[in-house]
Amino acid sequence: MPIINITSQPFTDQRPGTSGLRKRVKVFQQEHYLENFVQAMFDAIGNTRNQTLVIGGDGRFYNETAIQTIVKMAVVNGFKRLIIGQHGLLSTPAASCIIRKYQAFGGVILSASHNPAGPEGDFGIKFNIRNGGPAPESITEAIYQLSQKISSYRIFECEDISLSDIGTQYLQDMQIDIIDPVTDYAEMMANIFDFPAIRALLCNGRFQMRFDAMHAITGPYAKEILEKRLGAEVGTVINGIPQADFAGGHPDPNLTYAPELVAELFAENGPDFGAASDGDGDRNMILGHGIFVTPSDSLAIMAANADLVPAYQEGLKGIARSMPTSQAADKVAKSLNIPLHETPTGWKFFGNLLDANLATLCGEESFGTGSNHIREKDGLWAVLFWLNILAVRQQSVLDIVRQHWQKYGRNYYTRHDYEEIPTNKANQLIERLQLQLPQLPGQKMNGYIVKYADNFGYHDPVDNSIAENQGIRIGFTDGCRIIFRLSGTGTQGATLRVYIEAIEDNPDKLFADTQTRLQDLIELADSLAGIKLFTGRNAPTVIT
């Protein structure tokens, strides 16, 4: 079984985004496409000889096929040991956990996160570094540059390995360990949270919850932890069997794409608590009976109640949030007298802060929350955090949220997504906005006075790296904000994200409908950016 050298040529579209390389499955199925990127990745990450590599993905279509290719290229590139989840499965948080636990050189995670799957859907690949977090831009840029120069790659010609049997096998001198994908992660969760208190809550005969795994990777994790270890009623986890096409669904845990769960939680006799996670298990949606908790509020409430969770009882070193995330967590950080770090969108920007012990909790408005336990956002961890709070406080989600608003004020917040816009139109919209920025400060618009208008830039306090043009911000003198960004997570056209935030401290005005309360800012955002003009859309694709 020889090592064969395959002649190839570059593909011009292999620049990784904030979460690796994401394309349609059919793009990855092109001859040499995956192999080119994998070889560029192995060349970019440094000396791979005698190193340990973790491999796994969310089980979407093409997952196992890609793993077999990566294994046959890994042996040629000198890796000593591979750790692979059984059937090729690893949630993104579990992969980060395993990289850190076994002190691996890094990991290859195969996922397109919350994007649809199947033969006509999306696929993705990214490299996570030794700390368990996504590769920084220095590595992703090196991968891209190498992908544009590649002329050949080497691969080991052999039969596929078994991904179904837990245990050790060998390919030449390379050790391949197929592991249970859930065990290490579940043990980590038991060391973070008060499992006895959560078990008492779930088994008291009164408390009811529902967890929607959306036919994606988190199903086995939720069943093991919630139903088996914590004693939740069998059937608490719905849509819990991972499917290669996510049962034709869109595994994005929000009000639009999890209608079954939302309807149940807003029903007259609905459960007390509901949650969902996405395709690869790193995002979360939190619901109480009759209430949706925005990810921004969720981060703030978790931070304010962190002392109820065993792992965080000694206090938080800081809170980090992405720039478009609402400023609700800022108020908690001020109250706790700890730093608040504002970063660009993309979990990789939190890694340095966590490694330097400058932050403990991190969050993004795009339904991602996490902490220093790993270097990825973590959907099921967030659900367990909320269950721990509920178990200790013995209050409803609605009461906890309302009491938080009464103490800190409410940050009314929404995100409007315009998906699959022609890229040239999206770029024209942003360019037009950019040109307006110098003239906006001081102007009065719809009763709001512009305090600042810029394109957000970030100076990393740990490594002094600079990230520019991370989103257009228009801030007003009363603290309200409108933010515009083009997202890098889609595979067709561009997604325009518009974030709108208003701050309300009047205790008599804390409980209004969000879209109604923000209507004047929503209209202002449209007029500033010419959204209808450039997109041709009368309404967003998704509102969260």
Q: Which of 526, 528, 522 is nearest to 450 (CA)?
A: 528
**Residue for token digits 């209608």?**
259
Tell me how many degrees the CA angle 100-276-231 measures, rounded to the nearest 5: 80
Q: Which of 470, 252, 206, 461 is nearest to 346 (CA)?
A: 470
Question: What span, in angstroms and rounded, lies between the C-alpha atoms of 281 and 523?
Answer: 35
List CB contacts of 86: < 8 A, sequence separation 6 or more. Answer: 163, 164, 166, 178, 179, 180, 181
Is residue 113 annotated as part of the catalytic site, yes or no?
yes
* Burial bucket for residue 1 (CB in 10 Å: 0-12, 13-18, 19+): exposed
Question: What span, in angstroms and rounded, lies between the C-alpha atoms of 494 and 406?
Answer: 39
The active-site residue out of 19, 111, 113, 298 is 113
Report yes or no: 379 and 253 within 8 Å, Cβ to Cβ: yes
* Burial bucket for residue 463 (CB in 10 Å: 0-12, 13-18, 19+): exposed
Report yes or no: 449 and 456 within 8 Å, Cβ to Cβ: no
Question: What span, in angstroms and rounded, lies between the C-alpha atoms of 61 and 163?
Answer: 15
Report yes or no: 89 and 142 within 8 Å, Cβ to Cβ: no
Question: What span, in angstroms and rounded, lies between the C-alpha atoms of 419 and 317?
Answer: 37
Please report which residue ranges of 116-213 form alpha helices under DSSP H: 137-147, 183-192, 195-202
Q: Tell me the two tokens of residue 468.
A: 């520019």
Which residues are tagged catalytic?
Answer: 113
